[in-house]
């Protein structure tokens, strides 16, 4: 062991004993789980030798060998070289001083959490030829045939393995039937780990592997409460089952949510792909499930290490952190980087912290970062006011109030103790039964969970409730099975109801009509208000998110051990449920990546991500620009390259490929020179914006910048000519050199330069939004449009 510095750091003396799993070990009361990361493995050691090496490092900072072995949580022995262990800050610091240690990461509880049928049809994958009045008054058959061709060519993903890191799986769900499936791919090397209410028979030719990871969780919180979750890969939350079925669920007829909503055929993106389940998220002790699970960093890193070794082709991770984490602080980024080396595509959710800018997580360039947008299906819940005005909201609650009842604003019914700024929130025990009994109550979103607001109205004797958006949520509404007749309204409609109530002087009335399902509701897609936004604070020269996909009010399979609302008092049981979040959009992209992998098994992870990005659309179904939750034009910091288009992605024409070495060179330029000990950074480094990425981000531009890119011809025809075009950010020019790319064969590469120049700084500053200007460029031949977004800020 070589020290980075020669100063000695003495070990803190232990004063007490603490019971830790699995052994009783001597330790300091200030011990915490840390991850000690060495980079990758050299390949010359067996797993047993790697474990012994990790024990040796622990023994160097612990007082006894017994204490060292008891402190170990995980030894990462496959692609990732490192270990997780209980350490004092002093011991962690001492290990961090060693030359061979790349980084030491404190694993904090609650650092990571989950980002929580029509969607695939809306994306153009599972549709038949349907009449589309927005496309020249004709049948929109071209897209349908392309979608059918994609699924057929991909064999519906039958030999591709999709790994899901989440809260487990409900194996009895019809979406995970293995009826008619071919034998498990011979490339699979994983296991079916048994546990509580989960035995080997729960794995099949669909769920080919299952594991669960508890060691990190239990070091933080103590033994798992057996009533709160299963000590196995079985899902008691619903989130993991939901995302798994979106990515790769079977086609299930007559599926519907509570009350029969959205009845039809449910299907995942790659319905014949195989699933490998890695349960890493667990309920936080003392909190309702509505608060979300916690996912331990050390547990996730162990799962990713196993998934890579097991032979998965795609990993879907609908988990992230609210903290802005650099690569060496982020377990997901580290795990995804090692997946990249093995050519595994990793798709991650961007986060649900919107509409605030600079909030996205999972921002590394080797991760496919996915934002969330809407579909064109709506469940209309019409509210009829006493003045005859009809306001159309949305609902998936199968109860109605056809008779006219008194209507009251929650702020007018709050008890005296409620803070003035929260009187309209319908907080638990905040409403006066005397004022609410028998009435419809208008509650405003925020502060507490939406379903709990309805439960509070019910507790106080209310007959129904209206869930109204505040300004920050715009017109995007969540659909949930409430316990009372309900409709959810956008911000403008909410204001109209508030004004009506105020104008009637306590004589307001309303009724709630029977819900109605409609398709073609627009504009769609629009960006969900919750989806996290750029700019990319950690990697400013990488435009994020990469893509957007359906994430608002998505129907998918659910755990029958979790009520549709996740509230403990809710006794309802469902097999399919609605949920919203970038958690739902992420597996859409993972499912598409599985189909592309099936068609192009030799393509790199970067090529597959490029294909999805450069074929995306920035238009809604009406042919207009995608908007945000308030109806304003959205930007690439919300949708990335655009809304994904499965029917186009398998034939992108050109791809921006990048090797593992290219990403190591990028990290050198970024300032991280020891990401892989086998790679030596050159003396002269390229700018970070020269990574061969399918989008362009140039922060703090002074005068001009030259951005270099290389594209690979993957089109069906060997000979091709691609012509440059685009729209630069306001006040700037963008020129390509050369402006025409000629290819003579498939697989041929051509390089070009983009010259981005400030021509009118005043115009730029006057039109930039949030300090950034946006544009795009594209390469076109007779069939393909290879489009890339541009984001620039001025220095």
Catalytic residues: 166, 239, 583
On the CB side of 121, CA atoms within 13 Å amount to 18
- What are 337's strand-pairing partners? none
- What are 773's strand-pairing partners? 792
* CA-based nearest residue to 694, from 781, 791, 610, 775: 610
Signed CA dihedral, 300, 306, 307, 309: sign only: positive
Strand pairing category for 131-132 and 138-139:
antiparallel
Number of Cβ within 10 Å of residue 555's Cβ equals 28
CB 276 within 8 A of CB 299: no
**Which residues have C-beta within 8 Å of that of residue 231, sequence separation ≥ 6?**
195, 196, 212, 214, 224
Cα–Cα distance measured from residue 653 to residue 615, given in angstroms and rounded to the nearest whole number: 9
Residue with tokens 């509409």: 355
Cα–Cα distance measured from residue 204 to residue 207, given in angstroms and rounded to the nearest whole number: 5
For residue 413, give both structure tokens.
């019914």
* CA-based nearest residue to 349, from 663, 25, 113, 605: 113
Helix (H, G, I), strand (E, B) or coil at 140: coil
CB 246 within 8 A of CB 123: no
Instruction: Read off φ and ψ for residue 411, nearest 5 degrees.
Output: -60, -25
Cα–Cα distance measured from residue 372 to residue 352, given in angstroms and rounded to the nearest whole number: 9
Task: Check residue 273 and report its DSSP letter.
Answer: -
Cα–Cα distance measured from residue 604 to residue 600, given in angstroms and rounded to the nearest whole number: 9
Cα–Cα distance measured from residue 418 to residue 424, given in angstroms and rounded to the nearest whole number: 9
Helix (H, G, I), strand (E, B) or coil at 668: helix
Signed CA dihedral, 297, 303, 307, 313: sign only: negative
**DSSP-assigned letters across all residues of 618-650:** -B-TTSSB-B-TTSSBP-HHHHTT-B--HHHHT
Burial class of residue 434 (count of CB atoms within 10 Å of its CB; 0-12, 13-18, 19+): exposed
Instruction: Read off φ and ψ for residue 541, nearest 5 degrees.
Output: -90, 10
For the stretch 123-155, what's the b/e string if a residue is b when 16 or more beta carbons lie within 10 angstroms of its beta carbon?
bbbbbeeeebeeeeeeebeebbebbbebbeebb
Cα–Cα distance measured from residue 333 to residue 217, given in angstroms and rounded to the nearest whole number: 20
Quickly list H helices, 238-314: 239-248, 297-310
CB 470 within 8 A of CB 446: yes
**Which residues have C-beta within 8 Å of that of residue 629, sequence separation ≥ 6?**
355, 473, 474, 475, 476, 526, 527, 528, 529
Instruction: Read off φ and ψ for residue 280, nearest 5 degrees.
Output: -125, -5
The torsion region of residue 471 among left (phi > 0), alpha (psi -120 to 50) and beta comes to: alpha
Cα–Cα distance measured from residue 461 to residue 761, given in angstroms and rounded to the nearest whole number: 61
Cα–Cα distance measured from residue 621 to residue 121, given in angstroms and rounded to the nearest whole number: 13
Separation in Å, CA 510 to CA 384, 400, 406, 481, 615: 5, 12, 6, 21, 47
Task: Check residue 284 and report its DSSP letter.
Answer: P
């Amino acid at each position: 062991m070589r020290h980075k510095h020669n100063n000695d750091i003495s070990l803190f003396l232990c004063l007490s004993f603490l019971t830790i799993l699995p052994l009783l070990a001597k330790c300091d009361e200030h011990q915490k789980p840390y991850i000690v990361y060495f980079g990758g493995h050299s390949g010359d050691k067996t797993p047993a030798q790697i474990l012994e090496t990790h024990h040796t490092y622990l023994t160097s900072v612990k007082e006894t060998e017994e204490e060292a072995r008891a402190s170990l949580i995980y030894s990462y022995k496959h692609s990732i070289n490192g270990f997780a262990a209980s350490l004092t800050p002093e011991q962690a610091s001492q290990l961090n001083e060693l030359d061979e240690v790349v980084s030491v990461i404190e694993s904090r509880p609650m650092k990571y959490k989950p980002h929580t049928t029509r969607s695939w049809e809306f994306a153009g994958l599972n549709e038949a030829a349907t009449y589309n009045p927005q496309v020249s008054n004709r049948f929109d058959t071209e897209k349908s045939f392309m979608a059918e061709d994609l699924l057929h060519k991909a064999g519906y993903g039958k030999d591709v393995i999709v790994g899901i890191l989440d809260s487990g799986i409900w194996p009895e769900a019809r979406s995970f039937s293995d009826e008619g499936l071919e034998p498990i791919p011979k490339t699979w090397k994983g296991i079916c780990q048994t546990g509580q209410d989960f035995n080997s028979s729960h794995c099949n030719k669909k769920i080919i592997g299952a594991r669960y990871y508890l060691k990190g969780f239990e070091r933080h919180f103590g033994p798992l409460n057996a009533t709160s979750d299963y000590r196995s890969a079985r899902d008691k939350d619903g989130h993991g089952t939901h995302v798994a079925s979106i990515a790769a669920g079977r086609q299930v007829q007559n599926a519907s949510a509570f009350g029969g909503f959205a009845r039809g055929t449910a299907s995942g993106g790659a319905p014949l792909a195989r699933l490998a389940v890695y349960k890493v998220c667990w309920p936080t002790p003392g909190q309702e499930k509505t608060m979300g699970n916690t996912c331990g960093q050390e547990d996730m890193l162990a799962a990713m290490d196993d998934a890579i070794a097991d032979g998965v082709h795609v990993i879907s991770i609908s988990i992230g952190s609210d903290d802005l984490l650099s690569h060496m602080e982020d377990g997901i980024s580290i795990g995804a980087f090692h997946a990249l080396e093995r050519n595994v595509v990793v798709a991650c959710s961007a986060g649900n912290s919107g509409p605030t800018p600079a909030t996205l997580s999972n921002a590394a360039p080797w991760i496919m970062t996915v934002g969330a947008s809407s579909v064109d299906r709506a469940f209309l819940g019409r509210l009829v006011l006493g003045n005859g005005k009809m306001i159309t909201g949305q609902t998936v609650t199968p109860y109605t109030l056809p008779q006219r009842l008194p209507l009251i604003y929650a702020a007018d019914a709050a008890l005296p103790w409620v803070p003035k700024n929260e009187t309209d929130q319908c907080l638990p025990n905040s409403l006066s039964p005397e004022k609410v009994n028998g009435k419809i109550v208008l509650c405003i979103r925020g502060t507490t969970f939406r379903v709990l607001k309805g439960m509070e109205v019910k507790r106080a004797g209310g007959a129904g409730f209206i869930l109204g958006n505040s300004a920050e949520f715009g017109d995007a509404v969540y659909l949930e099975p409430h316990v009372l007749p309900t409709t959810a309204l956008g911000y403008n409609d909410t204001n109209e109801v508030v004004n009506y109530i105020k104008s009637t002087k306590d004589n307001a009335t309303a009724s709630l009509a029977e819900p109605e399902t409609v398709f073609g509701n627009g504009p769609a897609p629009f960006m969900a208000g919750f989806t996290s936004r750029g700019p990319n604070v950690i990697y400013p020269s990488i435009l994020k998110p990469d893509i957007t996909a359906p994430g608002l009010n998505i129907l998918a399979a659910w755990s029958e051990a979790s009520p549709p609302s996740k509230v403990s008092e809710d006794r309802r049981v469902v097999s399919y449920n609605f949920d919203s979040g970038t958690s739902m959009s992420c597996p859409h992209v993972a499912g598409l990546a599985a189909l592309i992998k099936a068609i192009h098994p030799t393509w790199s992870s970067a090529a597959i991500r490029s294909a999805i990005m450069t074929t995306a659309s920035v238009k809604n179904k009406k042919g207009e620009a995608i908007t945000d939750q308030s109806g304003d034009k959205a930007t690439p910091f919300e949708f990335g390259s655009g809304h994904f288009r499965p029917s186009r992605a398998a034939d992108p024409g050109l791809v921006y490929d990048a090797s593992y070495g290219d990403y190591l060179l990028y990290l050198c330029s970024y300032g991280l020179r020891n990401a892989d000990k086998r790679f030596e950074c050159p003396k002269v480094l390229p700018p970070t914006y020269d990574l061969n990425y399918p989008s362009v981000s140039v922060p703090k531009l002074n005068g001009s910048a030259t951005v270099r890119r290389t594209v690979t011809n993957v089109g069906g025809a060997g000979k091709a000519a691609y012509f440059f075009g685009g729209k630069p950010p306001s006040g700037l020019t963008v020129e390509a050199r050369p402006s025409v790319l000629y290819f003579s064969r498939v697989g041929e590469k051509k390089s070009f330069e983009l010259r981005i120049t400030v021509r009118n700084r005043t115009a730029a500053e006057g039109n930039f939004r949030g300090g950034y200007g946006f544009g795009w460029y594209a390469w076109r031949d007779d069939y393909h449009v290879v489009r890339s977004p541009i984001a620039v800020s001025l220095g």
